Amino acid sequence: MTVPTIPELADQIRAGLDADELWAREASRNQGHPIIETGEHWHWQCTEHDHEIEPNPGVKEFIEPDWCECFRVSLRSVEMYPRPYGDGTLPNFALPMCEEVPSAVGGHIARHDPARVLAEVTAKRALLDFALGWEHTFGWFETCYGDPCLCDRDEKVRTVLALLAAPYQTGV
């Protein structure tokens, strides 16, 4: 098995982050309204009374309200949009009506809403740029003149990039 080069790892990370960004932006698209650049925040609500439900896999098997006997829930945006007809606003209904959503699954979906994914993409791109910007230094010298690298910069960068690339490995 060949060890990927730094440029290969960087390209793999960029491609994965681009795909994550695309999916998160598209998931934030709502019926002709402009996409929120930072992404939508999602939460679960009771479809009967419109109150928020916090999934708790340690307490309840399914996402369901504590105080009413409703069993239908919806995954909605926290952000509100003008209604297409009439007055008022509505959220984006990512999953309009669901029944028997396992708490662990529903909680995982809500915790990884488009806003969080886009924030993670931004942070990972900054970390990638930071790692690629590390300078070669070797003792008193301003730069490392070895080939291969004598100052361990390349190994450190490769390690950071391999960790960032891990979620995008195929077949894993």
pLDDT at 68: 80
- How many Cβ atoms from other residues are within 10 Å of residue 164's Cβ? 20
pLDDT at 171: 56
Tell the residue number behind the tokens 């984006």, with chain if given: 92
Spell out the long-range contacts of 34-39 with Cβ–Cβ below 8 A and sequence spacing 24 or more.
36/79, 36/115, 38/115, 38/118, 38/119, 39/113, 39/114, 39/115, 39/116, 39/117, 39/118, 39/119
Q: How many Å apart are CA 71 and CA 11, to the nearest integer?
A: 46
Tokens found for residue 121: 């993409």
Tokens found for residue 49: 């009374």
Least Cα distance to 75 among 101, 49, 56, 57 occurs for 101
pLDDT at 1: 67
pLDDT in tens, the chain (172 residues): 688 999 999 999 999 999 999 999 999 887 777 888 899 999 999 999 888 999 988 888 999 887 787 789 999 999 999 887 889 999 999 999 999 999 999 999 999 999 999 999 999 999 999 999 988 776 676 677 666 777 888 899 999 999 999 999 875 4
List, in sequence order, every residue forming a beta bridge with 98; answer none if it has no partner: 73
Q: How many Å apart are CA 133 and CA 120, to the nearest integer?
A: 20
Q: How many Å apart are CA 169 and CA 158, to the nearest integer?
A: 15
Q: How many Å apart are CA 73 and CA 102, to the nearest integer?
A: 11
pLDDT at 141: 65
The answer for 114, left when phi > 0, alpha when psi is -120 to 50, beta otherwise, is alpha
Contact, 98 vs 73, CB < 8 A? yes
Contact, 42 vs 8, CB < 8 A? no
| pTM confidence score | 0.87
124-148 pLDDT tens trace = 999 999 999 988 776 676 677 666 7
